[in-house]
Amino acid sequence: MQVACGLDRGLPVADAELAVDRRGRGRRRGRLALPPEPPELDGFALVLAGVLPGLCFIAVFGPPIWLFLAAIDGAVLAVMGTVNRKDRRRIKARGALAHPLWSAAWYCHRRDVVWHPKEAQEVMSPGRFQHELWSYDTAPRA
């Protein structure tokens, strides 16, 4: 009984050596098929073989990926522009209304308080005063 060899497929072959197992039995069967040798390449061809698949991937999938990311960036910028436009419009509208309140207030840098004579002679923190300015409207307070 012979082991299939590579003679009929054109593969390089080598004679099999006598293999002896632990029990002392030896077997020699046919010839062994050797794996094919890799082709000899010069440096440029070797580098090209390593880089070319990546370049092909970038050439095929690069533009769609770039367009997808550009579309996401454009959508984010459009949404943020809309939000900023609404904020600027609100600030301009309320800024004109809150200006008399702001110009009548006094700030004490020693105590870090704001005193407003029209608001029942009370002092408040700068943060509270800022909140009052931003939420100021023309409706009378109770």
Q: How far apart are CA 42 and CA 85, in angstroms?
A: 61
Please report the pLDDT score of residue 79 as a whole number: 93
pLDDT tens profile 123-137: 888 998 888 887 776
Q: How far apart are CA 73 and CA 128, in angstroms?
A: 37
Length of the chain: 142
Please report the pLDDT score of residue 80 as a whole number: 93
Strand partners, 19: 27
Q: What distance lies between CA 53 and its chain's CA centroid?
A: 24
Q: How far apart are CA 125 and CA 112, in angstroms?
A: 7
Average pLDDT, the chain: 76
pLDDT tens profile 106-126: 888 898 988 877 766 678 889
Q: How far apart are CA 28 and CA 17, in angstroms?
A: 6
